[in-house]
Structure 1
Amino acid sequence: MEQIKNIVFDFGGVLIDWNPVYLYRKIFKDQAETEHFLNNVCTYQWNVLQDAGRPLAEATAEKQQEFPAYKDEIAMYYGRWAEMLGGEIIENSRLVKPLSEKYNTYGLTNWSAETIPVAIERYGFFNYLKGMVVSGEEKLVKPDPKLYYILLDRFNLNPDETLFIDDNAHNIDTAGLLGFQTIHFTPDMDLEEVLTEMGIL
């Protein structure tokens, strides 16, 4: 195993707590209505299309035509998007600065190009990244290998020397096939402990 020189973070679910429920539980009267809306109207799969580069205004207008009864609620998805940010996952995000002093740190994220500036402005850990690849800017989403190759080429990284941390198993699988060292982060994991055991921290 090659010595680690680079660490690449996914953002949502690893460093940032993002969940549409944070917004819609303020809008709908009960949990069942919130779940219905997010499972059938503004779904996770629909949001991924915007992560892949589709303009937010276009996505919103199409969805409003499809579900006119929810026109106002659909407009809120990106109109009040910042309210979906639950904050930093602080036990992980506080590791970025010390890691950046020993390694080259980067981001590889599925995120809309139109909303990522909100997160960058809000969270200080972005200051410690040498660079990032944002799916919405590249019009590709993980786990498409092409997005990983953009990261490797742009920053001249060797995957054997690069540790990739993501909470999505499919994204981790692709990284592993491409030769990255990986950590599949789960909510019950102590990332600091894992990195310490690996001799990284």
Structure 2
Amino acid sequence: MIKSIIFDFGDVFINLDKKATANLLNTELLKNRDVDIEEINKTYEVGKLTTEAFLNFYSDIFTETTRADLKNAWNAILQDFPTYRLEFIKKLKTEYDFKLILLSNTNALHIEWIKNKVPFYEEFKSCFDAFYLSHEIHLRKPDTEIFDFVLQENSLEPQETLFIDDTKANTDTAKALGIHVWNNNPEKEDVIDLFRHKKELF
């Protein structure tokens, strides 16, 4: 029986366009660099690189792009947050007895954008018993450590926990720890249909 549900944020609640940033920048400039670009992004995502240092790094590459345009390009991945998903999580909070947890790989620039653009962000956040963002806890999915942290911090039993995420690498790690998973496809599935898609767990 499921007692706790851990939700991802992007492409579960807020819609994403994962190609948007690359489409707005001349990505040819990223090729043949001496540094690992992906590693820089991950370092920023776990809060071990300041926003200033992160923007400085990309400003040195995209020399003809303003910092404002860099920020806009970086945040372009973030799309709309349908209010019906807010209503869904509010209903879970008020009508059921689940422990609700959000676990997201989210960096400082993205959460700043969300706070400014999503008028009900605080209301959304208040629906959760715990709200973990990678840049605040210095851990990220799909590393095992982040799931161990959430399980221990909230005294969760893996077999009584469901984790929902659109990225298979993340749900694979959780599944290996004995957690029930739903690797949702945002193009075909919606979190509000949770009880239909995972009815065998409830």
- Which band: TM-score by shorter chain? 0.7 to 0.9
SS at match of 1:128: coil
Q: Is the 8 A contact 1:56 1:78 kept in 2?
A: no
Query: Does 2:109 correspond to 1:110?
Result: no
Q: Is the 8 A contact 2:71 2:109 kept in 1?
A: no
Q: Per the alignment, do residues 91 and 189 of structure 1 end up closer, same or farther by CA in structure 2, a change over 3 Å counting?
A: farther
Q: Is the 8 A contact 1:132 1:151 kept in 2?
A: no
In the aligned structure 2, how far is the partner of 1:11 from the partner of 1:106?
10
Identity, in percent, stands at 25
SS at match of 1:148: helix
User: Mapping of 1:42-191 within 5 angstroms?
Assistant: 45=38, 47-53=41-47, 54-68=49-63, 70-72=64-66, 75-78=68-71, 84-101=77-94, 102=96, 103-113=98-108, 115-120=110-115, 122=118, 123=121, 124-186=123-185, 187-191=187-191
Q: Per the alignment, do residues 64 and 169 of structure 1 end up closer, same or farther by CA in structure 2, a change over 3 Å counting?
A: same
SS at match of 1:63: helix
**How many pairs align?**
188
In the aligned structure 1, how far is the partner of 2:177 from the partner of 2:28?
33
Q: Per the alignment, do residues 17 and 81 of structure 1 end up closer, same or farther by CA in structure 2, a change over 3 Å counting?
A: same
Q: Is the 8 A contact 2:75 2:109 kept in 1?
A: no
Give the CA deviation at 1:84.
Answer: 4.9
The one-letter amino acid paired with 1:94 is E
Q: Per the alignment, do residues 184 and 104 of structure 1 end up closer, same or farther by CA in structure 2, a change over 3 Å counting?
A: same
In the aligned structure 1, how far is the partner of 2:80 from the partner of 2:155?
31
Q: Per the alignment, do residues 170 and 40 of structure 1 end up closer, same or farther by CA in structure 2, a change over 3 Å counting?
A: farther
TM-score, length-normalised on structure 1?
0.77
Q: Per the alignment, do residues 40 and 19 of structure 1 end up closer, same or farther by CA in structure 2, a change over 3 Å counting?
A: farther
TM-score, length-normalised on structure 2?
0.76
